[in-house]
Amino acid sequence: MKLTKIALMLGIASLLPNLASASTLDQVVKKGVLNCGVSTGIPGFSATDSKGVWKGIDVDFCQSVAAAVLGDPAKVKYIPLTAKERFTALQSGEIDLLARSSTWTATRDTSLGLNFAGVNYYDGQGFLVNKELGISSAKELDGATFCIQAGTTTELNLTDYFKANKMAYKAVTYDTSGQTIDGFKKGRCDAVTSDASQLYGLKLKMNKPNSVVVLPEIISKEPLGPVVRQGDDQWFNIVRWTMFATLEAEELGVSSANVDAQLKSQNPGIKRLLGTSGKAGENLGLSSDWAYNIIKKVGNYGEMFDRNVGKGSPLNIERGLNNLWNQGGLMYSMPIR
Amino acid sequence: MATYAVKEAKPAPSTSKGVLFWLRENLFSDIKNSLLTLAGLYFLYTIIPPLLNWMIFDATWSGAQDEVVKEGARWIFIVEKLDQFIYGFYPESLHWRPNLVALICIAFLLSMKFVKNLNLKIALILAFPVVCFILISGGWFGLEIVETEKWGGLMLTVLVAAVGIIASFPIGIILALGRQSHMPIVKTLCVGFIEFVRGVPLITILFMASVVLPLFFSDGIDFDKLLRALIGITLFQAAYIAEVVRGGLQAIPRGQYEASESLGLSYWQGMILVILPQALKISIPNLVGSFISLFKDTTLVLIIGLFDILAMVTLTNSDTNWLGYEVEGYVFVTIIYWVICFTMSQYSKAIERKFNTEH
């Protein structure tokens, strides 16, 4: 329903001669600032700290693009958007880039006039259970009581998963996500289910965070990634390769701490990444030190993950699927050459 | 000869005065009443002590997060995030500007009470919003520009409500007069506008302003999101004011209209000098009622990504270092809303008393 509405609005929009004509790169360079759409508060992804400064893995991605294009990660204007207005804001040109934990789906990619430039976080629906149950796998959840929010996709996924595994569950249904968590807190149910990235946040909100545990099973696919307007391939390339550069840097062991030393490296992969050989930057329409700027001023993917959601943050999320491909995860950069 | 001395009146019997008497008359007059009183007392007993314990006696007011030992409210969250609750993202070095505006507001309200010269009053009323706007947004007299994206918190709540109230008032009066007009086009337009706006929820208007309008602008035109929301809220509120004022207008006896006409006053003279002063006076309670509900409705701007004080609570609760403080945040905001709304309703009572010219 929501999607139909958005599609309708975009349909109206496409009749008007107002779609981006000048290239996004030129506009961003001319303005000297990147307009980046973020959330109105998702822990670890985009939220403000006590000084009112935006922090999070999505915020770091905005900064990476600004570093690559403008050479300065501070030249970002953050535009907080609700889930309902995010795609229109991109379509209408209010923002140049949307980094707001948006799931990459076929409908969104094909019918909204948008392009997903990659995946910066592989999320999926998981389970948070009471430690007292003494279980370590979702397969042991037969007969458990769940607190669920009525009418959501999470509920559908849960039903499908239990049917597929020939298990049964009892449901305590609530209206809002807040009530659902509250029900779990008060012990009305054994488990709650939601996107894994959020479960870690929920865990911290418990009175005793160590009395609950996130199970390893992931039962749905929620690839979250940055989004750009369709029809500007150069800008799409810049955003996509910014993503790849942060991954490639981690894979090659280049971090914000050692990037200056790595400039002298003889490793051909590092030389191409940092622009000491090859023409990766020029081909994107950027300067040759584009990737150097990203890594030096923001960091590689591993650093972003750790400080925002991983070991270096209170959320303490395992890398899991978000590990590099050669370490058991799905994060794979196309080669820069 | 015995002089007649007036005997001192005996004090009223102890059964018909004093605290005990009052209690018996009002709270324990019969069995049903006594039971209700006891039930009420028990109810208060179960609510108030735990509430006070949570809010005050067991509360933590300072210190680091991991040092909290008490069970009550952890107000350290509010202390830590207070600047954001009040100013949003307004740069810290420039907080003196909203502070100054707050002082100017108080001075302005007081001056309305003491300045008697009408021309001076009108000049003040016209200058006040301009001065406030320049101070908050900057760009003039060497003040640094602060973009509207950075406005937030209580400052934004008050600003949205104030603009909505001040700007919608004259528009609402004109709409109300237009609705009463004998000119068919004016009347149709006003009725059409009022009924259209009243038939649509505020949330729809805000969505139109934030999501649909930008699609119609040609590329590169950046029409400020806050301004769009303000225009939407003002038009919405104007339709409601119009209906409140119309109620007042209809309550004025026909004779008053005829009297003003027989004095040879033109339409506008008659309205401004005779009808409106009376109509507005009797509309005050309803006007303030709708202003208070507008003040609370301003929280809806959070659905278009503007951070009023309520949205600020949600946002500050997403800080990974400060998760799980929703209750403290919401209680704090509740208190702020209550204080402001209660002040507004007391102010309206004062105005009603001031304008009360009946015998």
DSSP tag of B305: T
Confidence at residue A20, expressed as pLDDT on a 0 to 100 scale: 44
Chain centroid to CA A192: 22
Q: Facing residues of A38 across strands?
A: A80
Instruction: State the count of interchain CB pairs (< 8 A) between A and B.
Output: 114
> Is residue A283 in a domain?
yes
ipTM entry: 0.77
Considering only A29-33, A142-146, B324-328, which range has the smallest mean pLDDT? B324-328
Task: State whether A73 and A179 are in the same domain.
Answer: no
* Beta bridge mates, B352: none
Cα separation, A324 vs A189, in Å, equals 36
Regions of chain B short of the pLDDT cut 50:
none
Are B254 and B231 contacting, i.e. CB atoms less than 8 angstroms apart?
no
Q: What's the structural domain count of chain A?
A: 2
- pLDDT at position A298 over 90: yes
What is residue A4's predicted lDDT score, i.e. its pLDDT? 53
Interface contact flag, A201 B307, Cβ < 8 Å: no
- pLDDT tens string A199-257: 888 888 887 888 888 888 888 888 999 999 999 999 999 999 999 999 999 999 999 99
What whole-number percentage of chain A has pLDDT above 70?
A: 93
| pLDDT at position A16 | 44
Owning domain of residue A163 = 125-214
The pLDDT tens digits of the residues spanning B116-173 come to: 888 888 888 888 888 888 888 887 777 888 888 888 899 999 999 999 999 999 999 9
What distance in Å separates residue A55's CA from the closest CA in chain B? Answer: 8
Do A18 and B303 make contact, defined as CB atoms within 8 angstroms?
Answer: no
The verdict on A313 touching B (C-beta cutoff 8 Å) is yes
A147 and A285, same domain (yes or no): no
Specify whether the CB–CB gap between A330 and A322 falls below 8 A: yes
Which of B84, B214, B326 shows the shortest C-beta gap to A52? B84
d(CA B58, CA B54): 5
Domain locations in chain B as residue ranges: 76-90+150-355, 91-145
Please tell me the predicted confidence (pLDDT) of residue B220.
Answer: 55
Write the residue in B207, B225, B319 that is nearest to A48 by C-beta.
B319
- Residue A337 belongs to a domain: no
Same domain assignment for residues A195 and A262: no
Please indicate, yes or no, whether residues A32 and A131 belong to a single structural domain of this protein: no
Q: What is the CATH number of the domain that holds A39?
A: 3.40.190.10
Tell me, yes or no, whether A46 and A114 share the same domain. yes
User: Are A168 and A117 contained in the same domain?
Assistant: no
Assigned domain for A335 exists: no
Which of the listed residues A214, A230, A262 is the one where a domain comes to its end?
A: A214
Residues A202 and A267 in one domain: no
Report the 10 Å Cβ neighbour count for A328: 10
DSSP B309-354: HHHHHHHHTT-GGG-S-HHHHHHHHHHHHHHHHHHHHHHHHHHHHH
The CA-atom distances, in angstroms, between A120 and each of A239, A244, B88, B339, B345 are: 11, 10, 29, 45, 51
Q: Classify residue A143 as left (phi > 0), alpha (psi -120 to 50) or beta.
A: left
Six token digits for residue B336: 């702020």
Q: What is the mean pLDDT of chain A?
A: 87
The pLDDT value recorded for residue A19 is: 46
User: Which residue type does A269 have?
Assistant: G
Instruction: Report pTM.
Output: 0.82
Residues belonging to chain B with any Cβ–Cβ distance to chain A shorter than 8 Å: 80-81, 83-84, 88-89, 92, 149, 207, 210-212, 214-220, 222, 225, 302-305, 307, 311, 314-324, 326
- Residue in the block written with tokens 């491909």: A325
Mutate to test the interface with A, among B302, B323, B328, B330 (most CBs of A within 10 A): B323
Q: Provide, as residue numbers in chain B, all residues whose Cβ is less than 8 Å from the Cβ of A85.
A: 207, 210-211, 304-305
Which residue(s) pair with A129 in the sheet? Answer: A191, A213
Give the one of B89, B311, B320 whose C-beta lies nearest to A313's C-beta.
B320
Identify the three-state secondary structure at position B102. helix
**Closest Cα partner for B178 from B232, B235, B243?**
B243
Q: Which of B81, B92, B149 sits opposite A79 (nearest CB)?
A: B149
Sign for the CA dihedral angle at B273, B276, B279, B284 comes to negative
Give the Cα separation of B55 and B332 in Å (integer): 10
Domain boundary among A170, A190, A214: A214
Q: What angle do CA B286, B287, B290 make, to 5 degrees?
A: 85
Answer whether residue A334 is part of any domain: no
- Taking only residues 154 to 213 of chain A, the set having a beta carbon closer than 8 angstroms to any beta carbon of chain B reads 178, 201, 204-206
Residues A237, A248 share a domain:
yes
Contact A93/B220, CB-based, under 8 Å?
A: yes
User: What gap in Å lies between CA B129 and CA B127, rounded to an integer?
Assistant: 6
* CATH number listed for the domain at residues B76-90+150-355: 1.10.3720.10
pLDDT at B170: 93
The residue with greater pLDDT, B137 or A75, is A75
Q: Are residues A114 and A136 in the same domain?
A: no
Cα first-last separation, chain B? 53
Question: pLDDT category, A82, cuts 50, 70, 90?
Answer: confident
Does position A119 have pLDDT exceeding 80, yes or no? yes
